[in-house]
Chains A and B, each alone.
Chain A
Amino acid sequence: MELLSLNDISVAYEKNLILKNFNLHIEKGELISLLGPSGCGKTTTLRLIAGFLEAKDGRFMFEGKDYTRVPVNKRNFGFVFQSYALFPHMTVFDNVAYGLRLRKVSKDDIAKRVTDMLKVVSLEGFEKRFPGELSGGQRQRVAIARALVIQPDLLLFDEPLSNLDANLRVNMRVEIRRIQKELGITTVYVSHDQEECFSISDKVAIMNQGVIEQLDAPAVIYKYPTTEFVARFIGFHNFIDVNGLKVNGEQVTADCPQGLKLSLVHRSGHPIVEQMKAAIRPDDLLIALQSELSNGLGGLTAAELETGWNVVAGRVKVSTFLGRSYQYEVETALGTFTVNREMEAPFETNAAVQLILPKEKVVLVRTKV
């Protein structure tokens, strides 16, 4: 069931149009992340939903009602700020109780609900502390408790974990996901940490310059990005221009510059259009010496490789030790490729190598949205 929709929303700071004809639909109970580079408009989107910013144009529907002009304090959305925004002059208890007191909940009920909520975020016994006397992770949990205790219809997070150290960040995101699922609260989560978004979300929206380029389940985005921007953002470092696409079911062949012929399996079902590129991750690209091709590699037979299908010749320019693998920058007639390979002895600099693009690993992405 659709809970929330942004329809052709525009938002501007003074004259700068940040969101233009922006659309987003969210289902009840799901956790959706907005992910994208700094300045792409994630916070702006979240603040618009919260009501801190007004739409210049468009409609914001919530539970079938027009919320475009509903003021912040009438929306009943919980907001967790990057800075936590705890009230420094109030104890943990009073911070969490703040929203309940405004709702004229009885004293006994407040005590009970605050205590229960502090239990949920594992902060029993901290009631009398002031925010200044808590660690970053504890503050963060108070902020979550404060937003949850009012039983919000929607929960909004703006990079809630960015001030925490790496370990705590992992623990907290598991916590957030657990609480969110337990209470079944629809949530919009903003972050620019890819792993964080992928690990906790039902769906991820990848944003670029005020536009959502792809909105899908994390696994789908990871495997099948739709656009070049999304692919680059999630770690596809290698791109090849393609022409003359021939589609036969899932089997696609393409002509590339420098006479390279590409054969790939197009599984994503994304529409095939005029301007596309082939993309592949450094982990999926294979690097081998000429002599290693004789048995076939990457779903291609030796004969196919022999006739130039999916093979690019190049020279190793840089090799970097990454721990589990080596990363090579390989210079070819088609530009520089990045490839990872787990192997004892690295290829030497200037070694002549062959790059093989496995059929199943190459994806086609649109160059334009």
Chain B
Amino acid sequence: MKKVHLWLLLLPGLLFLTIFMIIPIFMTIGSTFYHEGEFTVDGYVKLLSDPYMLKILGTTLQVSFVTTLVCILLGFPTAYYISKTKARTKGILLMLALFPLLTSAIVRSFSWMVILGKNGLVNQFLLGIGLIDDPLKILYTPTAMMIGMIHLFLPLMIISLVGVMENIDGDLLQASESLGASRWKGFMSIIVPLCVPGLIVGSILVFVGSLTAYTTPQLLGGKQRVIATFLYQNAMTLNDWYMASVIATVMIVITFIIIGLMNRLARKLNPKG
């Protein structure tokens, strides 16, 4: 009886996901193997042998990877600091950390264009102090995309990490110190491994988010394409829905591979995570 009730609770969400997500995804994947009336894998062959496409794939992975790494490096100390503050300060700091998520991606990207552009703040500053003679080209490069996405996704990393860090018993670090560990050693051998679950969740969110982001790379990347913008171009500009589906399928597969790898890494780093 109880079981049936629980199933009923699940039903609306399940129904929604099935109709609007699972079925379309399978239809998309299915359509990639069926082109002009017959079974084919031509789309994949064509895509994966296309140097342009491979370059885009490479750039996308590189941007996502660097974005994730920088988010970890920036997010970890911040999250640790936030997790150690008192409840009220914590609320305020978390609110501030989440702020980028609350502004529209378009507004945010335009701001970055102002900052990173040829006559932007960064170049004006560097020219002003005489560090460079000609303006740097930052906007419309992978670097600009990374900066925009780090800004966008850092909050996800911070919340994931604060979540696990809050639950780490404060006595653990003191226990390690009393056993002879320096602060740093204790931090690395106790706190960091215990943060692995949060690190993995945060990394998956950031990586997959970067991999599939559209607005930020579109506005900050200029002619530089990533998979998401390439997909859009195929579908909307070239009107090649078949290739768009193939690209979408490749993206889905990459996403699952990444999640799988991350989880394996997590088990290795923290067997009891």
- Does A pair with B? yes
* A interface with B by C-beta (< 8 Å): 50-52, 71-73, 75-79, 81, 83, 85-89, 98-99, 102-103, 130, 132, 146-147, 150
Give the chain B neighbours of A132 by CB distance below 8 A.
272
15 residue pairs A–B, Cβ–Cβ below 8 Å: A73-B180, A73-B181, A77-B178, A79-B178, A81-B175, A83-B171, A85-B169, A85-B171, A87-B175, A89-B270, A98-B176, A98-B179, A130-B272, A146-B175, A150-B180
For residue B244, CB closer than 8 A to chain A, the reply is no
Measured in the bound complex, the distance between the Cα atoms of B189 and A75 in whole Å is 20
Query: Measured between alpha carbons, how far is A75 from B177 in the docked complex, in Å?
Result: 10
8 Å CB contact of B169 from A72, A73, A83: A83
Given contacts A79-B174, A81-B171, contact A88 B194 (CB under 8 A): yes
Q: Contact check, A79 vs B181: say whether CB atoms are below 8 A apart.
A: no
Q: From known contacts A79-B174, A81-B171, A130-B272, infer whether A89 and B194 are also in contact, taking CB-CB under 8 Å.
A: yes
Supposing A102-B180, A146-B179 touch, asked if A89 and B272 sit within 8 A by C-beta, the answer is yes
Bound-state CA distance A73–B272 (Å) is: 27
A151 to chain B, nearest CB (A): 11
- Minimum CB–CB distance from A142 to chain B (whole Å) comes to 12
B171 proximity list for chain A (CB < 8 A)? 81, 83, 85
Contact, CB under 8 Å: A73 / B177? yes
Q: Are B272's CB and A72's CB within 8 A?
A: no
Do B176 and A78 have beta carbons less than 8 Å apart? Answer: no
With beta carbons under 8 angstroms apart, the residue of B178, B193, B271 that contacts A73 is B178
Please tell me if B182 contacts chain A, counting CB pairs below 8 Å: yes
Q: How far is the CA of A132 from the CA of B181 in the complex (A)?
A: 23
User: Quick one: closest A residue to B196, CB to CB?
Assistant: A89
Which residue on A lies nearest to B177, using beta carbons? Answer: A72
Q: A81-B171, A130-B272 are in contact. Are A87 and B178 (CB under 8 A)?
A: no
Question: Which residue numbers of B lie inside 8 Å of A, CB to CB?
Answer: 169, 171-172, 174-182, 185, 189-190, 193-194, 270-273
The answer to whether A102 and B179 touch across the interface, beta carbons within 8 angstroms, is yes
Q: Residue of A at shortest CB range from B183?
A: A73
Closest to B273 in A: A89
Q: Interface SS of chain A: helix, strand, loop or mixed?
A: loop
Q: Is the interface of B mostly helix, strand, loop or mixed?
A: helix
Q: Is the CB of B181 within 8 A of A85?
A: no
| A76 nearest CB across to chain B (Å) | 7
A87–B190 CB distance below 8 A: yes
Contacts of B189 in A (CB 8 A): 98
Residues of A within 8 A of B190 (CB): 87
Q: A52-B174, A89-B273, A132-B272 are in contact. Are A150 and B169 (CB under 8 A)?
A: no
- When distances are taken between beta carbons in the complex, the residues of chain B under 8 Å from A75 are 178
A85 to B181, CA, bound (A): 15
Chain A residues closer than 8 Å to B193, beta-carbon distance: 89
Which of A52, A73, A83, A130 is packed against the most chain B CB atoms within 10 Å? A73
Known: A89-B193, A89-B272. 7 other contacts (CB 8 A): A52-B178, A73-B179, A81-B171, A102-B179, A102-B180, A102-B185, A146-B175
Which of B169, B174, B180, B273 is close to A103, meaning CB atoms less than 8 Å apart?
A: B180
Most buried by A among B172, B175, B270: B175
Taken together as a complex, chains A and B put the C-alpha atoms of A71 and B177 apart, in Å, by 9
Nearest-neighbor residue (CB-CB) of A50 within chain B: B178
State in angstroms the CA–CA spacing of A73 and B180 once bound together. Answer: 4
Q: Which of B172, B180, B185, B270 contacts A76 (CB 8 A)?
A: B180
Residue of chain A at shortest CB distance from B178: A79
Chain A residues near B273: list those with CB within 8 A: 89
Assess the B271–A89 pair: CB atoms within 8 A: yes
Give Cα distance in the complex from A236 to B17, angstroms.
70
Give the Cβ gap from A189 to chain B, nearest Cβ, in Å.
16
**B180 contacts across to A, CB distance below 8 A:** 73, 76, 99, 102-103, 150
CA A72 – CA B241 in complex, angstroms? 65
Q: Nearest Cβ in chain B — how far from A65, in angstroms?
A: 18
The 10 tightest CB contacts between A and B, nearest first, are A99-B179, A85-B171, A85-B175, A79-B178, A72-B177, A102-B180, A81-B171, A73-B177, A89-B272, A89-B193
How far does the alpha carbon of A99 sit from the alpha carbon of B178 in the complex, in Å? Answer: 9
Contact of A79 among B169, B175, B272 (CB under 8 A): B175
Q: Is the CB of B174 within 8 A of A73?
A: no
Q: Determine the distance from Cα of A86 to Cα of B174 in the docked complex, in whole angstroms.
A: 11
Q: Pick from A78, A88, A103, A130: contact of B178, CB below 8 A.
A: A78
Set of chain A residues within 8 Å of B182, measured between Cβ atoms: 73
**How many Å lie between the Cα of A75 and that of B180 in the bound state?**
8
Provide the residues of chain A in CB contact with B272, threshold 8 Å: 88-89, 130, 132
Report Cα–Cα, A88/B178, bound state, in Å: 17
Known A-B contacts A99-B179, A102-B180; the reply to A72 vs B271 at CB < 8 A is no
Contact A72 B178, CB 8 Å, known A81-B171, A85-B169, A89-B272? yes
| Nearest-Cβ distance from residue A50 to partner chain B, whole angstroms | 6
CB distance from B265 to the nearest CB of A (A): 15
Cα separation A79 to B182 with both chains bound (whole Å): 16
A76 to B185, CA, bound (A): 16
Residues of chain B lying within 8 A (CB to CB) of residue A52: 174, 177-178
Q: Report how far A31 CA is from B273 CA in the complex, Å.
A: 38
Rounded to whole angstroms, the CA-CA distance of A147 and B180 in the bound complex is: 11
- For the complex formed, measure the closest distance between the CB of A150 and the CB atoms of chain B, giving whole angstroms: 6
Q: How far is the CA of A30 from the CA of B180 in the complex (A)?
A: 24
Known A-B contacts A89-B193, A89-B271; the reply to A102 vs B181 at CB < 8 A is yes
A322 to B272, CA, bound (A): 49
A130-B272, A132-B272 known; A85+B174 contact, CB < 8 A: yes
Q: Which residues on A sit within 8 Å (CB–CB) of B172?
A: 85, 87
